[in-house]
Structure formats: structure tokens, C-alpha cells
Amino acid sequence: MSKMDNLVIQLVKNRNELPWELLLFADPSRDSIKKYIDSSEIYVAKINGKIVGEYALLTRSKSKVELMNIAVDEKQQGKGIGEQLVFDAIIKAKNKGANKIEVGTGNSSLAPLALYKKCGFKIIGIDKGFFSRNYKEEIIENGIKCVDMIRLAIDF
């Protein structure tokens, strides 16, 4: 039996149990997270009872949901957990009756961008200067300054 056989994804019902370390790993601004966290459903992935990942799903309209935050514990990356989380979010969006799921990621977020493309997302636009406008601290990933938000979506 592989570790993935033990992966369980469940809704966080108690807001005092939010996985803040992972939420902040995906989005370094607590203020930014606070803008959407109360309106979002938060799901955690667990292996043998230990949280190894999370995602936040926000209903934007009857037909559109947005994946607002997704993270996998650094020690657990590269094992397919991120894909499982993305596919779970897609299923949840479909179950809500949505016909589209969107996500935004930084121009410097190479691994997340590859993950979304691998999962079937298509680039639908670029919000130029998003991170410069909305984050006080400069974000550098992979030696690249994070300035623009790449917007992606899947239509079902």
C-alpha cells in the first residue's frame, strides 16, 4: 500500500484548526488570506492523521469557483498530493453546479504553474502588477521577482 492510499481530504469545520503554516506557505500575506478565508471552504489533506496539504475554495458566483490557496508540506512535495488536491477542488466545484474553476498564481511560481497546466488549466489572462500593487513585501521565487498574476481556468 502506497502513502497515497492513505490520503484523506476533508473539510475543516472548526476555524480554530486552520492550517495557517500551509496557508502562509502558499500566500505570504496574512492580510491577503484574511480577505478570503472566512468566505472560503478550507480542505486539508491528511496522511495517517497528519496534515500534508490544504486548499481554499471560494464560490465567486453560481457558475464560477476559485481555488484561492493551495499548498503541500515541503517534505511531501513531488508525491502527487498537489494533483490530488487540484482534482478534488475540481470535483467540489462541479458538485456545487459551477461550470468553471479559476486560479491565479505568480509569474515566478513555476511549480504551481506547471501543476495547473498538468491538471488541464488554460491561461486566460495576466493581471499585470498584481503583486506589486497588493503586497507590501517583495516576493522572490526561483530567483524571479513576483510581479504579475497569471490567471488560469478550466471550463466544464
pLDDT score recorded for residue 3: 52
Q: Is the pLDDT of residue 21 over 60?
A: yes
Give the start-end residues of each E strand in 48-111.
Answer: 50-59, 64-72, 100-106
Tens digits of residue pLDDT in 24-52: 999 999 999 999 999 999 999 999 999 99
**Whole-angstrom Cα distance, residue 3 to residue 140?**
32
The H-or-E segment that residue 83 falls in is helix 81-95
The pTM for the full model equals: 0.93
Q: What is the dihedral of CA 22, 25, 26, 29, to 10 degrees?
A: 110
Taking CA 78 as the corner, what is the angle to CA 77 and CA 80, rounded to the nearest 5 degrees? 100
Asked whether the beta carbons of 7 and 46 are under 8 A apart, the reply is yes
Domains, the chain, ordered by start? 3-155 (3.40.630.30)
User: Residue 69's closest CA among 94, 32, 119?
Assistant: 32
Torsion angles phi and psi, residue 128, rounded to 5 = -65, 130
Our CA angle for 77, 144, 45, nearest 5°, is 20
Strand partners, 56: 42, 69
**Tens digits of residue pLDDT in 46-92:** 999 999 999 999 999 999 999 999 999 999 999 999 999 999 999 99
Give the rounded percent of residues in the chain with a pLDDT score beyond 90. Answer: 96
- Using one digit for the tens of pLDDT, what is the confidence trace for 125-136? 999 999 999 999
Asked whether the predicted pLDDT for residue 112 surpasses 80, the reply is yes
